[in-house]
Structure 1
Amino acid sequence: MQEFDNLTEKSAAPAVPVPYAPPATFGIKSWAEEDRPREKLLQKGRAALSDAELLAILLGSGTARLSAVDVAKLVLNAAQNDLNSLARFSVKELMKQKGIGEAKAIAIVAALELGRRRKEAAAPARTTITGSRDIYRLMQPHLQDLPHEEFWVVLLNRANVVMRTVSISRGGVAGTVADPKLIFKEALEQLASSIILVHNHPSGNRNPSAADIALTRKLKDAGLLLDLPVLDHLIFTDQGYHSFADEGML
Structure 2
Amino acid sequence: MTIKAWAEADRPREKLLMKGKHSLSDAELIAILLGSGSRQQTAVSLAKSILQSVDNNLFELGKCSIKELTKFNGVGEAKAITIAAALELGRRRQLSDIKTRPQVRCSADSYKAIAPLLMDLPHEEFWILLLSRRGEVIGREQISQGGISGTVVDAKLIFSRALEFKASSIILCHNHPSGNPNPSQADKSLTAKLVKAGENLDIFVLDHLIIAAGSYFSFADEGLI
Same fold, judged at TM 0.5 (above): yes
Amino acid at match of 1:234: L
Deviation at 1:171? 0.3
Mapping of residues 146-185 of structure 1, within 5 Å: 146-185=121-160
What SS does structure 2 have at the residue aligned with 1:124?
helix
Deviation at 1:190? 1.1
Deviation at 1:225? 0.5
| CA distance in structure 1 between the partners assigned to 2:105 and 2:99 by the alignment | 19
What residue number does 2:24 align with? none
1:226 maps to which of 170, 190, 201:
201
Deviations along 1:210-238, whole A, 9 cap, x unmatched? Answer: 00000000000000000001000000112
| CA distance in structure 2 between the partners assigned to 1:246 and 1:166 by the alignment | 23
What residue number does 2:74 align with? none
Amino acid at match of 2:180: N
Structure 1 segments of 4 or more deviating over 4 A?
none
What residue number does 1:14 align with? none
1:247 aligns with 2:212: no
| CA distance in structure 1 between the partners assigned to 2:194 and 2:99 by the alignment | 30
Mapping of residues 95-174 of structure 1, within 5 Å: 124-174=99-149
| CA distance in structure 2 between the partners assigned to 1:208 and 1:125 by the alignment | 31
What residue number does 2:23 align with? none
| CA distance in structure 1 between the partners assigned to 2:105 and 2:174 by the alignment | 19
| CA distance in structure 2 between the partners assigned to 1:137 and 1:238 by the alignment | 14
| CA distance in structure 2 between the partners assigned to 1:141 and 1:199 by the alignment | 12
Deviations along 1:76-130, whole A, 9 cap, x unmatched? Answer: xxxxxxxxxxxxxxxxxxxxxxxxxxxxxxxxxxxxxxxxxxxxxxx93221001
Deviation at 1:140? 2.0
What SS does structure 1 have at the residue aligned with 2:172?
strand
Deviation at 1:175? 0.3
What SS does structure 1 have at the residue aligned with 2:112?
helix
Percent identity over the alignment is: 56
Deviation at 1:145? 1.0
For structure 1, the residue ranges without an aligned partner over 5 or more in a row are 1-122
What SS does structure 2 have at the residue aligned with 1:222?
helix
Deviation at 1:139? 1.1
Amino acid at match of 1:150: E
Amino acid at match of 2:192: R
Deviations along 1:19-62, whole A, 9 cap, x unmatched? Answer: xxxxxxxxxxxxxxxxxxxxxxxxxxxxxxxxxxxxxxxxxxxx
| CA distance in structure 1 between the partners assigned to 2:180 and 2:127 by the alignment | 18
Amino acid at match of 2:170: I
What residue number does 1:214 align with? 189
TM-score, normalised with respect to structure 1: 0.50
Amino acid at match of 1:177: V
How many residue pairs are counted as aligned between the two chains? Answer: 128
Amino acid at match of 2:111: Y
Deviation at 1:149? 0.2
What SS does structure 2 have at the residue aligned with 1:188?
helix
Structure of higher RCO (CA pairs closer than 8 Å, 6+ residues apart): 2
What residue number does 1:194 align with? 169
For structure 2, the residue ranges without an aligned partner over 5 or more in a row are 1-97
